[in-house]
Every structure is written in C-alpha cells, then in structure tokens.
Chains A and B, each alone.
Chain A
Amino acid sequence: MDILIILEDNNGNIHRMGLESIVAAQQLGSELGLSTGALVMGANADALAEEASQYNVDEVIKVNDPLLASYSADGYSEAVKQIIEQENPTYVLFGHTYQVRDYAPRVSAKLMKPFLVDNVALSTEGGKVVFTKQMFNAKLFSDVIPSGEGPYLVSFQSAAFSADNAASGSASVREGSVNLDASMIKTESEEPFQEEAGGVDLTSADLIVSVGRGIGKEENIPLAQELAKALGAELASSRPVVDAGWLPSAHQVGSSGQSVSPKMYLALGISGAIQHVVGMKGSKNIVAINKDPEAPIFEIADYGVVGDVLEIVPKLTEALQ
C-alpha cells in the first residue's frame, strides 16, 4: 500500500487522533490516487481491527503479539519499523499523540527516514506534497517538505482534521506479523495513574478566568483570583504558571491538563500555544487580554483586548463589584 496509517489503542478504542489521521490519509489518497492501509497492534488487536475496518481504507493490518501487550518504546518502534519494511509505503501517518512523540522518532532513526511532526495541514497542489506546521509556539507557520526516497513519516496535530469526516467503508483485515524478542525491551512500565485533582473541577465550570505567564509573578495571582471571585468564575491557568509553582497543577488547562468548555473563557496573558488551546477551544466565548496584538490567542478569540493585564484586571474587577 502507498499510505500506512498507524492507529493507537486508547482504552480499547482507536485513539481519536488516529481517526483524524484516517481523514488525512483519505485526503492524500484521493488527491494523489494512492492506496491506504491501517495498522493496529497489541496482544490482541481483533477489536481494534474490527473498528478500523469500518472506515474507508483499502485494508487493515492486524498484528497480535504478546510483547505488544503493553506499550513500550522499544517494542512499538521495532514492530512499526518491521511493518513499514514489509509494506514499503510512501507515507506513514500518525496522530501526534504523546505515545507517538515517545517512539516514532525511533522508527525514523531505525529507517533513517524523515519524521515530519505535528502538522496542521497538508496540500498536494500541483502534485507537490507540502505539510504545514506551527513554529515558535504557533506564532509562525512553516511549509515543510520531505526529500529523498520515502517512506516519509508524518504526524498531525490534534484537530488538524475532524474525526467526524472519516469516510466509512468496509475494509478487509489481514493478519501481519513481526519478529520481536523479549530481550529487545529494555524498559519496565507500571500502571498509568492520575494525580489527585485537589477538588478543582474545571470541566463543568460555566465561567473561567485563566491566567498565563503574562501575569508576571506569583504576587500578581491574587489579581486574577479577585477577578474570578467578582465574576463567580473558576480560576484556571496555563502550564508555565503551574510549572513555576504559582498555582497547583489541578488548575492547568491543556493537553496535559483539563479540557474545558465554559460559556466564557477569559484568558489573561496567555499566548495561545496549541497545547493550551486544545484544552479550551471548545469554550462558547473566548475573551483574551494580551499586550501583544500578534499573540496567537487572538486567532481563536471571539473578543480581544490588546493591553496590560496588570492595568486592566484590577479595573475590571472594580467595575464588576
């Protein structure tokens, strides 16, 4: 096949970002007239294969191997490398999940083939295949092109394509096999766990005031707290605020924090990096206050205020009281 989609197991179902990469493969395939296939793996990937076969791809390859029972970078990178060598696709597509970040660069190194990561779009205009990625925390974009012979490994950012657009079909399932040895796996993994949320449930909040690094220092956090209180809103934050210890991690919104969809999300001094945006772009109304008129947050905001949060926030609190 020409395009191989690598699907990830997410608690027994195909990871949403895998479905999004099916959409990317369907677009690339139809524009360039290329065949598509999807790979599922695990100790027993029968159910995943069944789920994958309901999409419009030419075939599904299922690899069942006891050494793939739980995720390891060693095992997964070796298995994917072997399937790529067997199938010799031109494109290998992934969702840019945390798991893919962890092992796909190893596949790239094993094959000495490029891995174009975290793309937000693809274009085949004039037969030239171009992938688009964000750079500098979403402040600039870049068109990226692979060179040399394929296969080219390509991953897509969360929501670059909508999983709802994955065309359905009925693909045949083929059994694939890989040659793994227990001695290849040099890591031991414990069970995944979640940390105490500390009583902060942002997911059901109607109003959220969220504070970013632009607040400047820990001593300024009360400005946001008072505004939240005046509005009757929950207080949330971007990652650097948690990293710096200004707020506990339960307040973090984003890909490694909570996903929220309040009626109003008021972002104070937040630049709008994708890892933050994935956690709050479902908000009904996004209001952003940022001193930089070019900040990427204004690209997704419904209402924008260019200004200094340290000046605006106290006055806003006062006006609301």
Chain B
Amino acid sequence: MNNQASFNTDVAVIGAGPVGLFCVFQCGMLKMSTHVIDALPATGGQCTALYPEKPIYDIPAAPAINAQDLIRKLEAQIKPFKPEVHLDQQVVALERQGQQWQLTTASGMSITAKAVIIAAGAGAFGPNKPPLANIGQYEGKTVHYLVQNRELFRDQRLVIAGGGDSAVDWALSLADIAAHIYVVHRRDKFRALPENVDQMRALAEQGKLELVIPYQLANLEGQDDQLTAVHVKTLKGEERRLEADHLLSFFGLVNKLGPINDWGLNIHNGLIQVEPTTCATNLPGVFAVGDIAGYPHKLKLILSGFAEVAQAAHAAFAYVYPNEALHFEHSTSTGVPAPQAQ
C-alpha cells in the first residue's frame, strides 16, 4: 500500500476515537480545519473496537447510549465541519518543519499542520503479536495476523494459534485446502461461536486437523523468512515441535504507542504528560487529550476527554492564528455551519 498524497491543514488530529472525533467540532467552532488519522479501518477507537454494543451511562444528558451510537452521533455532530478522516493508517512520524509539524503515515501519506492534537488512546490498535524471538523476520511471508488470500495456504502445513473466533473460523475455512492444520490453544475452551467450535472438534476427530491443547507458542524455527517449525510448550514445560510452513496468529487487537514513543514527547507509563489547563505537551503546538493525556488525578473517561478537547482547541488557536485575538463565545451565539447538500 503506497499513498503519496499530502495535505495541509490547521490542526492534525491523531486518533479517531470519541475524543479525536470531538476535536473536529471544537476546532471547527474556532474556524480551524482538521484532518483526523486512525490506524483502524473504522472510527470510534475503543468504543467501536472493544465494546460497540455496550450502553454507556455517564455521558452528560444521555442517560444511556450504546458505544456505537455515541460514535454515530459524534459523527453527525462534526459533519457540518466537513471532517477529513483518513483510516487504516498509523501515524509513524511527527517532525518539525519550520513553524509547522509534518505527520507521516505508514502508507506514506503526509499532513502538514500548524498544530497537532494527539488523541491516541492507549496507542494504535494493531495485531496482538506473540513475543517470540525473531518473529519479525517471518512476518508478512510465513507469519500472518490476518488472512488476505486463502490460496496462499493451499497444500501448506499451518499452525493456527489462538482461542477466539478468528482462530476457529480460519481453522474451519482452511481445513479443506491446507495440507495439515494444528490449532494451538492454551486450554480446552474456545471463546467462539459454539456451532463452529463443535464443527472444529468434529474435524479434529476425523483427522482433518489437530488440536494442540493445552499448549502455548514457545519459539519459531526457520531460515530467512521461511518458517519450518513452531515449537510449543505446556505450562508444565512439555514441548512439541510442529512442522509447519505458516503460522497464523490470532490473539486479537492490542494498543501500542509504538512510534509515539520516539517523537520527543514526555511520556510516563504510556501517558503523554500535559499541562492540564491547556493539554499542552512539551512540544510547541502539540497537545494531547483523552485517554493518552496524563496529569495528576486524571480520569480516563470520555467526558474528561471532551472537556480536554475544548481546552486544547482554545490553546491551539494561538498556533493557527498567531495574530488574532481569541474571543470566547458560546455555541448558542456562533451556531454551527448549515449542513450542505452533498
């Protein structure tokens, strides 16, 4: 995936969780344009990725609202400001360019901005990779975190690791094309659709795949990017060597600060330290809000994040319009731009 597009904006927002989305509104009210970037293929951050169906009870004036509905309503609220949202790409670099900041994403897109608001939660969502030595050398070639092309696995020996829906679904789907499948899981219980688990156990009884339980991944054997075997072990230390051409690792999503650690920000235990009245970080024109912002007595709540966004947007104004006075106004006086027919 390569994407050489480049954009210019007043404020670049890293993260499209609830707090990142609300940045579009607050900046928009102060006549600042925004571009929002997220590593996930959808907006909503934790609300969408972890608990879309759960009701949230502590959003002011919404006695109960499903996480997914909260995101839909935020999107409706920011729509008048014509948000530019770039999904499925992680911001990997943040560099000073004169008086501005340049952000670069993993796919090569770049955004130049007068101010940056980091609303990155606990970091970019990505695959939860098992901490195996040298796993990086096989990634993309013989170690996979998602399946893009089933045909790659025809007549291949596979180790599928994990105990959730992805592991079970792919074991079922690949059983008739793979040469052999080992399903490695730490316990006999799978947290997946019961029908599918039953079907997988039936295939195991017919010898179409092998359940390797209760084992965990221990290490990888191979050369260059070609895997030859996966070593697994039990809690008691019993080991097995499973000959395999590919490892499909399905341990869900995790957040990683990753590159954010390298931008020169003051980070403590995963939180970017900010001055709480402005959400300013130690870098000029760079603000942090929401779950990733750290200050004494911080509460990781959506409502705190929203308030931080208002503080940050007002403080960012000085970087976007250095020569203009900022007048405080209520939304009841300014209104919002009229929705335009698209």
Bind each other = no
Binding site for B on A (CB under 8 A): none
Binding site for A on B (CB under 8 A): none
